[in-house]
Structure 1
């Protein structure tokens, strides 16, 4: 796949390029740090996937998505950004972004986002004039490439502990909470709780933001996006 990276932070740009180089079948078309340059590249070069930041100098990366949609260009968009405000998440969803990664992100999550785009684009190329339901599910359902067990959970997670974490989230009496707070409420380790919170964030039920705390220790803050959906997930057999 041909990939365009739009990012104005040199360190994040370097990480994106390094992560992309680990994946087979990926070709870096260009790297841009602003909206104007990115649009010039998109006008001249065919691009399969745009890795896009939102905060770009005094303009928004969402302008690029709006331009792509207006031009009816067949380019997928993966947001890689520090923006986790609900208003931005809703705007991204409305514009049809393929995936949403919040900084800082791990290689595995980056890889999964790119491979899913590649899988869906390859599936499109092999379809005939009409498609069956299984083919449509491949194209439109965001099936993670993360190994999962028969119960649908990623390896290393259990249904019992997931319910325990969800119940703790639903018991929180404020909009946002930290990994540490939830670890105290569940009696689980901070590392274990974070695995479940990341899983819930990957399902679009939580948003995740990041900051450095004392002595450079990373601190993750979460916001519940859908209390009803969380409750239904906890009640699943």
Structure 2
């Protein structure tokens, strides 16, 4: 079952980008996109999301007041800040309230992906022992340090990717060097589903083989485009 996500962002363009970034991973589902903390609190009376993507500056209340009121309701979902607010006191105040990660606009897809991976790994650590409600010291230490990034030289293919499929996607993108393509365009050319392509291009962005950029000139929702860099982080 997918993790339920709420996005709180009053800028429609940024909200659309946040949603598109979240939905590149089928393990997440966007339940609501809301314009303010006040609107979100009303929805949260009957909804318990796993993750909230939160802008600090929204109508009716700021991010700190929202988090305080959310906690007062007895809800403690993971929160990732995606905001232009980088004042020292604001950052400190939100970190002290337990936000999972803090992204300052404008942000790259790879950094957003890192924040989502942090959430997934925290969830994995918390659910690693189904037989007991207790965590050992090692698990607690990992939660505190949040060691989510893979170790250099680690086995990236453990993410469930297939080496032959990766090479198929890589060959096409290498031959298309200089072009910035959407996942839909890549999927059409290599004859794979868009969901499959998104998994592979996300991996290639993480390893540095692809660069991602946002195309705002689509006439609708912004799209993510990928271009081949040729830089390979694999051994």
TM-score (norm 2): 0.60
SS for the counterpart of 1:96 is coil
**Is contact 1:112–1:146 with CA below 8 Å preserved after alignment?**
no
Larger RCO (CA within 8 A; separation ≥ 6): 2
TM-align CA RMSD: 1.8
2:37 and 2:57 mapped to 1: Cα distance? 10
> Counterparts of 2:6 and 2:149 in 1: how far apart (Å)?
22
Q: Is the 8 A contact 1:7 1:31 kept in 2?
A: yes
SS of equivalent residue, structure 2 residue 45: helix
* Structure 1 position 42, deviation (Å): 1.4
Partner of 1:86: 88
Asked whether 1:112 is paired with 2:109, we answer no
What secondary structure does 1:44 align onto? coil
| Displacement of 1:68 | 2.2
Superposed structure 1 runs of 4+ greater than 6 Å apart: none
Q: Residue 23 of structure 1 aligns to a residue in which SS?
A: coil
Structure 2: unaligned runs, 5 residues or longer: 155-235
Partner of 2:135: 131
Q: Which residue of 1 aligns with 2:102?
A: 100
Matched, 1:30 2:23: no
Give the drift of 1:75: 0.3
- In the alignment, the residues of structure 2 paired with residue 143 and residue 112 of structure 1 have an alpha-carbon distance, to the nearest angstrom, of 11
TM value normalised by structure 1: 0.59
1:41 counterpart SS class: helix
Distance 1:135 1:122 in 2: 10
- Which segments of 5 or more consecutive residues in structure 1 lack a partner in the other structure? 151-237
Q: Indicate yes or no: 2:72 matched with 1:67.
A: no
Question: Do the aligned residues in 2 keep the contact of 1:62 with 1:92 (CA within 8 Å)?
Answer: yes
- Partners of 1:123 and 1:142 in 2: how far apart? 10
What does residue range 137-216 of structure 1 map to in structure 2 within 5 Å?
137-145=141-149, 148=152
Q: Deviation digits for residues 6-56 of structure 1, max 9, x if unmatched?
A: 001111001001111111300111000011111112111120110000011
